[in-house]
């Protein structure tokens, strides 16, 4: 039994399976549709959907693995079972790469969000003001709502985001040109397809945060099906969005666009009347970004608290939030965002989604043995 | 109490931020660009012309006080590139330029002759730009002259130019399609063309072929009839009216063909053989011949004559495009690329020399669904 549950800190915080589903779907879909489509198309051309699919399978494997590991330690989060398995100091050390990764991810998202809003909507508002506004909301959400508040918000933001995606696809049906999907395979070849699939996999590999979240689940035994379904739905919509971009713009133009999905929404023009819908979609998008950022703010605070046995994780918000802001603020340009994404796929995924969980899993198995003997 | 106070304070703080004061822009501080034109002027400098809406002229009834006010103004400025010229354009306007309503981009003849290539970037890069604009070439004139034309039915020429395309049976050609064609491996963009005619009017004159292997320079024009055939092959034509001799003398029949479709068959020889089958279904709208279309044999004769004559004209147009302009506007290369991707790899690099040597066979199959409201020609009954 977890120490913290005994002390009653998290007694009330229990997530339903539906909430888990929407947390994972919301925070993954937002980033992947936003940032992953055009790099995938640039690499794999009209076969980008295939490489996203392969990446998705890798993401599902990662998800399966981390959820399986978490389910071996019911009601304990990463910070707790790593200490239980590896001992106090090594266990604390094991948390470090995760915290670093989550901080960087949150900072990266905050900055990309602010840059995007700055580019598209508020071009004369300083970027830091946009970030500060988001930060204030995040802090409020995390302090007042905690994980259950964030989860409830995801229950709204997730379906709305998916509905927006579906509507934007439907309204674009008239702009589709099927031949843009051809020829299949011949232009890119398996090397390019597989090469382009790994970056996508690294986005879906974000589900390594399930190492923590599964411990909040009401019925931890049901975590596996829900998590896998959630990641699968995310993959489905990312594939659908990239296919729509391909069908409307073709591989050559989509690869050149920085945010092809938003251009897709801008392309909607029905009877010269229903147009300029991008503003609605951006609006809905901000919901998802907000959910994601609040979630990572919570995640870093609660895991730090559990790892260092600070009783009230809320106090740590005043450390985490400025930290995320500082990371977001010191990113000098687009180039370094690309660098951070590289860092994510070359270091974070191998270490946090594969390496450390693998060690923990082996130790779990080894420690279980004597009981049977 | 303190909690409520804190919350209230927070809300006020957020409210003051959330209004987005930095970006406050009222509609009456904007000048809405309805159409943009690009030209090179006599000195060879880039000249950007914008047609800007005058909303005051639109409100109220035409008999009202604002009735004889023009619904738009035309301003132009020169510069190093589009945005630079936009600066000098802005200098003449008290309201900030607003691009999101731009429906049309016009390219002047002199500009097209010099190549459009480097000027396309702004239209996609600028986040305030619009990819929904349609794009046209002004044959033998400047975009500026065309934008100065007093529109007939609509308040803005840009609306008219989009509707004109549908009126002649064309699907409007949008900037994103132009961009996609220009970025594709071998398609040469085929842009609709208009020209300025006396009495402050304009006319649709077919289309302009741009050569994207040479900075999108003008390769040549197709007249209205040729472009309707070319667009039929491309798949952008929705309707076409065909008139053909059916018997010696002045015996002609017209068919308004709709439901146009095409089929392409490839034989991958060296050079590849392409068979283009064009089919259309329509209603007979004029018959000055002695044939009676309600008789099966006569109807067959008419359909054959229509198909044959069209076949000849389409073949002539294809030959012109192939031998004279040497520009693959039909996207035949893309078809081979899509359906024979492995074969394409060897053709891709030499396509510009392969295309003129392609053996293209045209087959036309026109069907008369309905002989119209009378049987044989009224003329023969008199």
CA B222 from chain center: how many Å?
Answer: 13
Same domain, B212 and B263: no
B91 domain-assigned: yes
Of the candidates B90, B63, B206, B75, which has an alpha carbon nearest to the alpha carbon of residue B147? B75
Q: Choose one of B222, B253, B275: the last residue of a domain.
A: B222
| Chain-chain contact of B130 with A263 (C-beta, under 8 angstroms) | no
Tell me if A144 sits within 8 A of B22, measured CB to CB: no
Searching chain A, which residue's CA lies closest to the CA of residue B171? Answer: A175
For residue B331, give its domain range: 225-373
Same domain, B303 and B333: yes
User: Which of A252, A256, A290 is the mutation pick for testing B, counting most B CBs within 10 A?
Assistant: A252
| Chain-chain contact of B127 with A136 (C-beta, under 8 angstroms) | no
Q: The tokens of A43 are what?
A: 């690499």
| Chain-chain contact of A250 with B100 (C-beta, under 8 angstroms) | no
Partner-chain residue, chosen from B22, B127, B130, that has the shortest CB–CB distance to A125 = B22
- d(CA B379, nearest CA chain A) in Å: 43
Which CATH number do you get for residue B229? Answer: 3.30.300.210
Same domain, B40 and B189: yes
B63 domain-assigned: no
Task: Express the helix, strand and coil content of chain B in percent, nearest 5 each.
Answer: 40, 30, 30
> How far is the CA of A332 from the CAs of A324, A326, A340, B56, B127, in angstroms?
15, 12, 12, 46, 21
- What's the whole-model pTM score? 0.82
Same domain, B240 and B150: no
Same domain, B184 and B262: no
> How far is the CA of B188 from the CAs of A85, B105, B278, in angstroms?
65, 18, 21
| Chain-chain contact of A122 with B18 (C-beta, under 8 angstroms) | no
| Chain-chain contact of A122 with B176 (C-beta, under 8 angstroms) | no
Same domain, B322 and B187: no
Task: Extract the runs of DSSP E, i.e. beta strands, from B212-298.
Answer: 217-222, 240-247, 251-267, 273-287
Listed by start position, the domains of chain A span: 17-337
Its CATH class, for the domain covering A17-337, is mainly alpha
Q: Whole-angstrom Cα distance, residue A87 to residue A73?
A: 15
Q: Choose one of B194, B222, B250: the last residue of a domain.
A: B222
pLDDT-derived band at A222 (thresholds 50, 70, 90) equals: confident
Same domain, B210 and B104: yes
Residue A373 has pLDDT above 50, yes or no: no
User: Which of A179, A180, A268, A283 is the mutation pick for testing B, counting most B CBs within 10 A?
Assistant: A179
Same domain, B148 and B275: no
Residue A2 has pLDDT above 50, yes or no: no
Q: What pLDDT sits at residue B24? A: 67
Searching chain B, which residue's CA lies closest to the CA of residue A136? Answer: B14
- d(CA A30, nearest CA chain B) in Å: 21
| Chain-chain contact of A267 with B131 (C-beta, under 8 angstroms) | yes
Q: Choose one of B183, B204, B222: the last residue of a domain.
A: B222
Q: Whole-angstrom Cα distance, residue A327 to residue A128?
A: 12
> How far is the CA of B7 from the CAs of A148, A318, B3, in angstroms?
21, 18, 6
Same domain, B165 and B245: no
Tell me if B358 sits within 8 A of B274, measured CB to CB: yes
Partner-chain residue, chosen from A122, A250, A276, that has the shortest CB–CB distance to B20 = A122
Over range A157-174, report the average pLDDT: 92
A332-361 in b/e form (b: 16+ CB < 10 A) is eeeeebeebbebbbeebbebbbbebbeebb
B86 domain-assigned: yes
Residue B297: count other Cβ atoms within 10 Å of its Cβ.
9
Residue A8 has pLDDT above 50, yes or no: no
B126 domain-assigned: yes
B379 domain-assigned: no
Residue A276 near chain B (CB below 8 Å): yes
Peptide bond into A89 cis (omega under 30): no
Tell me if B170 sits within 8 A of B237, measured CB to CB: yes
B130 domain-assigned: yes
| Chain-chain contact of B339 with A266 (C-beta, under 8 angstroms) | no
Q: Which residues of A touch B175 (CB under 8 A)?
A: none
Residue A187 near chain B (CB below 8 Å): yes
Q: Which residues of A touch B131 (CB under 8 A)?
A: 263, 266-267
Over range A334-343, report the average pLDDT: 82
Tell me if A327 sits within 8 A of A106, measured CB to CB: yes
Searching chain A, which residue's CA lies closest to the CA of residue B16? Answer: A133
Same domain, B203 and B244: no
- d(CA A124, nearest CA chain B) in Å: 6
Chain B residues interacting with chain A (CB cutoff of 8 angstroms): 10, 13-14, 17-18, 20, 22-23, 100, 124, 127, 130-132, 176, 179-180, 183-184, 334, 337-339, 341-342, 344-345
Q: What pLDDT sits at residue B264? A: 87
Partner-chain residue, chosen from B23, B179, B341, that has the shortest CB–CB distance to A187 = B341
Residue A165 has pLDDT above 90, yes or no: yes
Partner-chain residue, chosen from B20, B100, B183, that has the shortest CB–CB distance to A276 = B100
Q: Whole-angstrom Cα distance, residue B116 to residue B214?
A: 10
- d(CA B285, nearest CA chain A) in Å: 29
Three-state SS sequence of chain A? CCHHHHCCCCCCCCECHHHHHHHHHHHHHHHHHHHHHHHHHHHHHHHHHHHHHHHHHHHHHHHHHHHHHHHHCCCCCHHHHHHHHHCHHHHHHHHHHHHHHHHHHHHHHHHHHHHHHHHHCCCCCCHHHHHHHHHHHHHHHHHHHHHHHHHHHHHHHHHHHHHHHHHHHHHCHHHCCHHHHCCCCCCCHHHHHHHHHHHHHHHHHHHHHHHHHHHHECCHHHHHHHHHHHHHHHHHHHHHHHHHHHHHHHHHHHHHCCCHHHHHHHHCEECCCEECCHHHHHHHHHHHHHHHHHHHHHHHHHHHHHHHCCCCHHHHHHHHHHHHHHHHHHCCCHHHHHHHHHHHHHHHHHHHHHHHHHHHHHHHHHHHHHHHC
Q: What pLDDT sits at residue B380? A: 59
Tell me if A106 sits within 8 A of A300, measured CB to CB: yes
Q: What is the pLDDT of residues A252-291, one digit of tens each?
A: 888 888 888 988 888 887 776 777 788 888 888 899 999 9
| Domain tally, chain B | 2
Q: Whole-angstrom Cα distance, residue B82 to residue B379?
A: 58
Q: What pLDDT sits at residue B20? A: 55
B14 domain-assigned: no
Q: pLDDT digit of tens for each residue in chain B (382 aa)?
A: 788 888 888 777 777 666 555 666 777 788 888 888 889 888 888 888 988 888 777 665 454 444 456 788 889 888 888 888 888 888 888 888 888 778 888 999 998 898 887 777 777 777 666 677 889 999 988 888 888 888 777 788 888 888 888 888 888 888 888 888 888 888 899 999 999 888 888 889 999 999 888 888 888 999 988 999 999 999 888 888 888 888 877 788 888 888 888 888 888 887 888 899 999 988 888 888 888 887 888 888 888 888 999 999 999 999 999 889 888 899 888 888 888 888 888 888 888 888 888 888 999 998 888 777 776 666 655 5
B381 domain-assigned: no
| Chain-chain contact of B338 with A179 (C-beta, under 8 angstroms) | yes
User: Which of B11, B18, B23 is the mutation pick for testing A, counting most A CBs within 10 A?
Assistant: B23
């Amino acid at each position: 039994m977890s120490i913290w549950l005994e002390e009653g800190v998290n007694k009330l915080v229990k997530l339903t399976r539906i909430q888990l589903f929407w947390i994972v779907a919301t925070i993954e879909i937002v980033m992947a549709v936003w940032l992953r489509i055009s790099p995938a198309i640039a690499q794999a051309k009209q076969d980008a959907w295939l490489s996203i699919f392969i990446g998705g399978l890798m993401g599902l494997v990662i998800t399966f693995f981390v959820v399986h590991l978490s389910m071996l330690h019911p009601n304990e989060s990463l910070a707790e079972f790593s200490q239980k398995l590896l001992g106090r100091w090594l266990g604390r050390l094991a948390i470090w790469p995760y915290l670093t990764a989550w901080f960087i991810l949150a900072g990266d998202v905050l900055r990309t969000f602010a840059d995007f809003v700055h580019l598209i909507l508020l071009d004369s508002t300083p970027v830091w003001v946009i970030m500060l506004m988001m930060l204030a909301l995040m802090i409020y959400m995390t302090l007042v709502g905690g994980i259950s508040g964030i989860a409830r918000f995801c229950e709204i933001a997730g379906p709305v985001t998916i509905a927006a995606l579906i509507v934007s696809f439907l309204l674009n049906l008239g702009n589709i040109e099927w031949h843009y999907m051809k020829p299949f395979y011949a232009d890119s070849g398996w090397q390019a397809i597989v090469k382009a699939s790994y970056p996508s996999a690294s986005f879906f590999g974000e589900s390594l945060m399930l190492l923590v979240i599964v411990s909040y689940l009401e019925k931890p035994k049901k975590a596996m099906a829900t998590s896998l379904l959630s990641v699968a739905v995310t993959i489905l919509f990312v594939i659908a969005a990239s296919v729509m971009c391909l069908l409307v713009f073709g591989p050559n133009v989509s690869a050149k666009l920085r945010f092809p999905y938003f251009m897709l929404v801008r392309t909607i023009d029905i009877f010269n009347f229903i147009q300029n819908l991008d503003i609605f979609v951006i609006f809905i998008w901000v919901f998802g970004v907000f959910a994601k950022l609040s979630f990572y703010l919570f995640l870093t605070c609660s895991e730090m608290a559990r790892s260092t046995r600070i009783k009230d994780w809320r106090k740590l918000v005043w450390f985490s939030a400025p930290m995320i802001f500082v990371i977001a603020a010191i990113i000098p340009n687009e180039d370094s965002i690309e660098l951070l994404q590289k860092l994510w796929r070359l270091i974070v995924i191998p270490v946090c989604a594969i390496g450390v969980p693998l060690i923990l899993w082996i130790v779990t198995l080894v420690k279980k043995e004597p009981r049977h003997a | 109490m303190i909690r409520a106070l804190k919350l209230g304070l927070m809300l006020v703080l957020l409210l003051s931020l959330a209004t987005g004061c930095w970006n406050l822009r009222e509609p009456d501080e904007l000048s809405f660009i309805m159409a943009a034109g690009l030209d090179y002027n006599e000195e060879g400098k880039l000249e950007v012309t914008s047609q800007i809406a005058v909303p005051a002229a639109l409100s109220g009834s035409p008999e009202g006080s604002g009735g004889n006010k023009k619904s738009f103004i035309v301003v132009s400025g020169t510069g190093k590139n589009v945005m630079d010229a936009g600066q000098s354009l802005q200098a003449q306007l008290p309201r900030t330029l607003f691009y999101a309503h731009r429906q049309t981009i016009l390219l002047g003849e002199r500009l097209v002759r010099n190549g459009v290539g480097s000027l396309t970037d702004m239209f996609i890069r600028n986040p305030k730009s619009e990819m929904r604009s349609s794009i046209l070439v002004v044959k033998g004139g400047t975009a500026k002259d065309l934008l100065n034309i007093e529109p007939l039915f609509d308040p803005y020429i840009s609306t008219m130019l989009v509707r004109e395309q549908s009126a002649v049976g064309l699907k409007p050609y949008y900037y994103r399609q132009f961009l996609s064609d220009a970025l594709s491996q071998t398609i040469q963009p085929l842009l609709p063309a208009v020209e300025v005619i006396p009495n402050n009017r304009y006319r649709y004159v077919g289309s302009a072929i741009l050569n994207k292997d040479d900075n999108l320079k003008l390769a040549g024009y197709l007249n209205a009839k040729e472009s309707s055939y070319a667009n039929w092959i491309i798949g952008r034509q929705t309707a076409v009216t065909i008139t053909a001799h059916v018997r010696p003398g002045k015996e002609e029949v017209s068919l308004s063909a709709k439901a146009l479709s095409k089929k392409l068959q490839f034989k991958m020889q060296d050079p590849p053989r392409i068979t283009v089958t064009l089919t259309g279904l329509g209603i007979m709208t004029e018959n000055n011949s002695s044939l009676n279309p309600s008789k099966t044999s006569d109807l067959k004769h008419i359909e054959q004559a229509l198909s044959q004559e069209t076949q000849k004209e389409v073949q002539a147009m294809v030959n012109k495009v192939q031998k004279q302009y040497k520009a693959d506007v039909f996207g035949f290369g893309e078809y081979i690329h899509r359906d024979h991707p492995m074969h394409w790899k060897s053709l891709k690099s030499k396509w510009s020399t392969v295309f003129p040597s392609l053996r293209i066979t045209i087959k036309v199959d026109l069907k008369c669904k309905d002989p119209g409201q009378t049987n044989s020609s009224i003329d023969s009954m008199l």
